């Protein structure tokens, strides 16, 4: 686990998986997946906000790790 390349690979995989999950949440929010979110007891705008922030954060981490060139 001391290998920086291994850590970077794990972060890339984890952020890619997070990006996929957050995209699914956003697709549910926009109504493109047949999931009824009205029965969850959570306001619709909260689901959109959480999905959007989660998506943006995951995308930022993934882009940073993919553009990082100084592997030590």
Q: What's the pLDDT tens digit per position in 2-48?
A: 677 888 899 999 999 999 999 999 999 998 988 888 888 889 999 99
User: Please, which residues have CB within 8 angstroms of residue 47's CB and are 6 or more apart in sequence?
Assistant: 25, 28, 29, 37, 40
List the end-to-end C-alpha distance of the chain, in Å, as a whole number.
14
Query: Is the model's pLDDT at 72 over the cut of 70?
Result: no
**Predicted pLDDT of residue 65:** 92
HSE-CB of 66 using CA atoms within 13 angstroms: 11
Check residue 71 and give its pLDDT.
60
Largest separation between any pair of C-alpha atoms in the chain: 50
The pLDDT of residue 61 is above 90: yes
For CA atoms 25, 29, 30, 32, the dihedral sign is: positive
> What pTM was estimated for this model as a whole?
0.83
Is residue 67 scored above 60 in pLDDT?
yes
């Amino acid at each position: 686990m001391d290998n920086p390349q291994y850590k970077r690979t794990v972060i890339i995989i984890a952020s890619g998986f997070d990006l996929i999950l957050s995209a699914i949440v956003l697709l549910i929010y926009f109504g493109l997946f047949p999931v009824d979110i009205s029965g969850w007891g959570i306001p619709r705008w909260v689901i959109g906000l959480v999905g959007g922030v989660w998506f943006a954060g995951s995308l930022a981490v993934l882009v940073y790790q993919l553009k990082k060139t100084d592997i030590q």
